[in-house]
Amino acid sequence: MAARVGLSHALLASSSLARNPPPRARLLPYPTLLPLPTYRRSVSASASALPSLRRRRPFAARAMSQPPEAAGSPYAAELAAAKKAVALAARLCQTVQQELVQSDVQSKADKTPVTVADYGSQILVSLVLNMEVTSGSFSMVAEEDSEDLRKEGAEEILEHITDLVNETLAEDGSFNISLSQEGILSAIDSGKSEGGPSGRHWVLDPIDGTKGFVRGGQYAIALALLDEGKVVLGVLGCPNLPLTSICNLNGNSSGDQTGVLFSATIGCGAEVQSLDGSPPQKISVCSIDNPVNASFFESYEGAHNMRDVTGSIAEKLGVQAPPVRIDSQAKYGALARGDGAIYLRFPHKGYKEKIWDHAAGSIVVTEAGGIVTDASGKDLDFSKGRCLDDLDTGIVATNKQLMPSLLKAVQEAIKEKNQAPSPL
Ligand SMILES: Nc1ncnc2c1ncn2[C@@H]1O[C@H](COP(=O)(O)O)[C@@H](OP(=O)(O)O)[C@H]1O
Ligand SMILES: [Mg+2]
């Protein structure tokens, strides 16, 4: 049986990792298992009940190590690492979602597989970034922490997560490394940073659109980098988004190939490629300047968005098309490649937006030539910690031509809502 060890210099010198070092390998801050153990299959009840899982082509984290288009940018190494991390996490999420959908777990309201995928995605992203990005100290603001997994009774789920992560790493083959359970917990907790206005911080939503994930719908792995309080890089992995436009499909697949990776670096534009590693192509927002021809995206979940407000804005603009409702930051990605013209997000009163729900998506849109602001037209401020603190009411995104009339319609709709008599 493999011994549980920390990854020290001495171990690196004698391990298979030292003989086959990944590019720019750095010491991990959490314990690993070396050498690689023999992998057991995932032990979830859902998996064992499913002898013949439909396996799609796995997403290729390896292919994401190709030199990025933004090779001249100061964030080129970070972009390559971020793409690789998101592609690997997407692979794990896809495996879990296939089991989840086929085993009908969602109808039993069993949240376990979701949790497994959330944690697994966060662990893999942390691991890849730690292995691939050597400069500076590591700070990550991410959605999950290990508190629940450290409680009594969580042993089985922790074992399941450990198996799933190690299995995904072994299948990919880029890293000759395996994590112990303590390493798994530490990797999750590497996302506890508070972020802020100085230094560099990774920002991660390991599964954005959890409800879509459970439904078998859209979700995203969203990773961004903050530098001195500004988003400088973003990567969005959308495993269920069609490679071709979702115009008029209301978020559903047209039957085409799915699995899209959006990426953007500040000053270098935005790109799209398939999650299985096709060459990146530049994208831009649509050039529609008459709102009558525009369509708009909003959350699939009614509880996340005041549809009376978004409906009123659309009406004031003269938008004819029905709303396109999809989960997660896949909306930002779809907007960035011109599938639709406007994204409207107006959470119910009291909800505080988290930075990981918008950091990656917003830079993909702005680098594709679009604008993302709050309801008053102010830029989003990612420098205030884990939440978007000073946000005025809602978030809107569109192209430069439509933004002035959109903001005017937003102000009118909000004013009307505030003046309307209370239903109580
Ligand atoms: N009441 C609410 N209002 C607005 N957003 C909410 C919300 N409750 C949860 N969310 C956020 O909305 C995200 C999903 O976005 P969308 O509505 O665009 O699909 C969730 O991300 P997670 O799924 O990562 O928790 C969560 O952060
Ligand atoms: Mg989210």
- Distance between CA atoms of residues 351 and 205, nearest Å: 17
Burial class of 107 by CB neighbour count within 10 A (0 to 12, 13 to 18, 19+): exposed
- Has residue 154 got a pLDDT over 70? yes
pLDDT at position 166, please? 98
pLDDT at position 65, please? 56
- Distance between CA atoms of residues 30 and 185, nearest Å: 8
- Has residue 161 got a pLDDT over 90? yes
* Mean pLDDT within 321-344: 97
Confidence of residue 26 (pLDDT cuts 50, 70, 90): low
Compare 401 and 211 and report the one with higher pLDDT. Answer: 401
- Has residue 70 got a pLDDT over 50? yes
Q: Which pTM does this prediction carry? A: 0.87
| pLDDT per residue as tens digits for the range 165-217 | 999 999 999 999 999 999 999 999 999 999 999 999 999 999 999 999 988 89
Confidence of residue 135 (pLDDT cuts 50, 70, 90): confident
Ligand 1 surroundings by CB, under 6 angstroms: 143, 205, 207-210, 299, 301, 303-304, 327-328, 347-348, 351, 354, 357
| Ligand 1, atom 10, residue with closest C-alpha | 304
Task: Check if the beta carbon of residue 240 is closer than 8 Å to that of residue 217.
Answer: yes
3-state secondary structure of 230: strand
Question: Which of 12-16, 150-154, 198-202, 411-415 bottoms out in mean pLDDT, i.e. has the lowest?
Answer: 12-16
Nearest CA to 86 out of 246, 225, 290 is that of 225
Q: Which ligand is nearest to the CA of 354?
A: 1
Annotation says 210 is catalytic: yes
Is 357 annotated to bind a ligand? Reply is yes
Domains of the chain as residue ranges with CATH: 4-283 (3.30.540.10), 291-419 (3.40.190.80)
- Distance between CA atoms of residues 343 and 358, nearest Å: 12
Question: From the CA of 142, how far away is ligand 2's center (Å)?
Answer: 10
pLDDT at position 106, please? 42
| Ligand 1, atom 18, residue with closest C-alpha | 328
